[in-house]
A and B are shown apart, each in its own frame.
Chain A
Amino acid sequence: DTAVSQTPKYLVTQMGNDKSIKCEQNLGHDTMYWYKQDSKKFLKIMFSYNNKELIINETVPNRFSPKSPDKAHLNLHINSLELGDSAVYFCASRDRTYEQYFGPGTRLTVT
């Protein structure tokens, strides 16, 4: 009964490739997020979607393109991957409260 799920859990790829990470939440929440966690554990918000509409894009390169086909899904597509994109990416969702529910994370390694 996973609330927020992400696939894949691990992703190893070469520079220049294009990859996608999928996120699904079964909580019925209206708002979903993507975060990037660097090697020092710092969590930084990337995108925020509310009812399939982009609310926030926090100075993220346009190589990153989120797509929300419906309220329960928020996928992250990354073009032309760079070494600096290596990180753990977390999807999260929230309802009308401010508590956010996080997925298990996707560890992206760019070689």
Chain B
Amino acid sequence: GESVGLHLPTLSVQEGDNSIINCAYSNSASDYFIWYKQESGKGPQFIIDIRSNMDKRQGQRVTVLLNKTVKHLSLQIAATQPGDSAVYFCAERKGGGSQGNLIFGKGTKLSVKP
């Protein structure tokens, strides 16, 4: 079975607020994590990634936090905008001989209210 899951399947936020999307993973050997955004009718798009030797990484309006102690990953979106409405997926890469293959979590739907 999959080893990546999400605490919240849906999240509704007000425009301008900050959003936090959470993800739990179970494979302690995973060495790379990535967040994807999937808008309706489109393929997943890369948002931000983080390696297991880091605990925080910032992008433009987005921050990913990694807590390896509790195997938890989160995506923070600052000043959420209507264009952020989408399904967000976390994914992990297992270490060792798994090459570059990713295991995806179930996804969280983010709805931004104007």
Contact = CB atoms under 8 A, between A and B. Distances in A.
B43 A45 contact: no
A42 B43 contact: no
A105 B42 contact: yes
B45 A100 contact: no
B106 A100 contact: no
B43 A31 contact: no
A62 to B, nearest CB: 21
Interface residues of B, number: 23
A100 B102 contact: yes
Contact of B104 (A4, A42, A98, A101): A42
Given A40-B106, A41-B107, A102 B45 contact: yes
Nearest to A41: B107
B104 A43 contact: yes
B87 A41 contact: yes
- Among B43, B87, B99, B102, find the residue whose CB has the most chain A CB atoms closer than 10 A: B43
Given A90-B43, A98-B93, 5 more contacts: A41-B107, A44-B104, A45-B102, A100-B102, A104-B41
Closest 3 CB pairs of A and B: A102-B43, A43-B104, A41-B107
Interface of B: 32, 34, 36, 38, 41-46, 49, 87, 89, 93, 99-104, 106-107, 109
23 contacts: A31-B99, A41-B38, A41-B87, A42-B107, A43-B104, A44-B104, A45-B101, A48-B101, A55-B99, A90-B44, A98-B34, A98-B93, A98-B100, A100-B46, A100-B102, A101-B46, A102-B36, A102-B44, A102-B45, A104-B41, A104-B42, A104-B43, A105-B42
